[in-house]
């Protein structure tokens, strides 16, 4: 059972190649501090923000210390973060700074309002079905992964979702 009262340590993850992400991360970080909560950056995100004394952990340990994680970026950022957090069953909120926003459906202009709603217990948990995928050659696993929505197999070049 997940309770909003347990959201004391809030993980922050951001897409590394967008300056607008830093603005949103800083806004959320400062708001969390003002509420007396403990914002925690993953290492990659900490390199983006202008804080010298922020709490930082590796992304793979973030789920161990965070009660809630906020991802600022696009759907790809959320999916990437979810893979690192899956074994901890940590709830994730997505703030859209990407293009599509199917999973990261909160607009940056609504981030603080929506975050406050969650922290006050006004949220509905959306549990997602996960897929485990293995690629085998001659019976030997050569690659495995966990996916949130779907698995795409392709022959070489990277593929992207279309707007």
Segment 68-93, tens digit of pLDDT: 999 999 888 888 898 888 889 899 99
pTM for this one? 0.82
User: Considering 17, 67, 75, 105, which one is annotated as catalytic?
Assistant: 75
Helices 111-119 and 19-34 pack at an angle, to 10 degrees, of: 40
Does residue 130 sit within a domain?
no
Average pLDDT rounded to a whole number, residues 33-41: 96
Q: How many CB atoms lie within 10 A of CB 158?
A: 6
CATH number at residue 8: 3.40.50.10330
Residue 105 annotated as catalytic = no
What is the number of domains present in the chain? 1
Does residue 107 sit within a domain?
yes
| Token pair for 42 | 């993953």
In a 10 Å sphere around its CB, with 0-12 CB exposed, 13-18 middle and 19+ buried, how is residue 56 labelled? middle
Lowest mean pLDDT among 55-64, 77-86, 98-107: 98-107
Query: Where is pLDDT greater, at 133 or 94?
Result: 94
Q: Are strands 140-147 and 55-57 parallel, antiparallel or unpaired?
A: unpaired
State what percent of residues in the chain have pLDDT above 90: 50
Average pLDDT rounded to a whole number, residues 124-151: 81
Does residue 18 sit within a domain?
yes
Q: Tokens 């922290």 label which residue?
A: 119
DSSP string, 19-58: HHHHHHHHHHHHHHHHTT-EEEEEHHHHTTS--SS-EEE-
Does residue 67 sit within a domain?
yes
Q: Structural domain of residue 37, as residue ranges?
A: 4-119
157 pLDDT exceeds 70? no
Does residue 44 sit within a domain?
yes
Does residue 138 sit within a domain?
no
Please give the angle made by the CA atoms of 29, 108 and 71, to the nearest 5 degrees. Answer: 55
Does residue 148 sit within a domain?
no
Does residue 135 sit within a domain?
no
DSSP 8-state secondary structure symbol assigned to residue 141: E
């Amino acid at each position: 059972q997940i309770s909003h009262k347990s959201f004391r340590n809030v993980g922050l993850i951001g897409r590394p190649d967008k300056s607008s992400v830093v603005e949103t991360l800083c806004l959320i970080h400062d708001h969390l501090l003002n509420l007396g909560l403990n914002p925690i950056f993953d290492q990659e995100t900490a390199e983006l923000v202008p804080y010298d004394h922020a709490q930082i952990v590796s992304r793979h340990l973030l789920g161990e210390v965070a009660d809630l994680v906020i991802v600022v970026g696009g759907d790809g950022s959320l999916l990437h973060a979810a893979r690192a957090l899956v074994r901890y069953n940590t709830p994730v909120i997505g703030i859209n700074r990407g293009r599509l926003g199917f999973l990261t459906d909160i607009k940056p202009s609504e981030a603080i309002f929506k975050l406050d709603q969650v922290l006050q217990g006004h949220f509905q948990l959306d549990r997602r079905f996960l897929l485990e995928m293995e690629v085998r050659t001659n019976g030997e696993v050569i690659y495995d992964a966990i996916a949130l929505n779907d698995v795409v197999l392709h022959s070489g070049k990277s593929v992207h979702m279309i707007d």
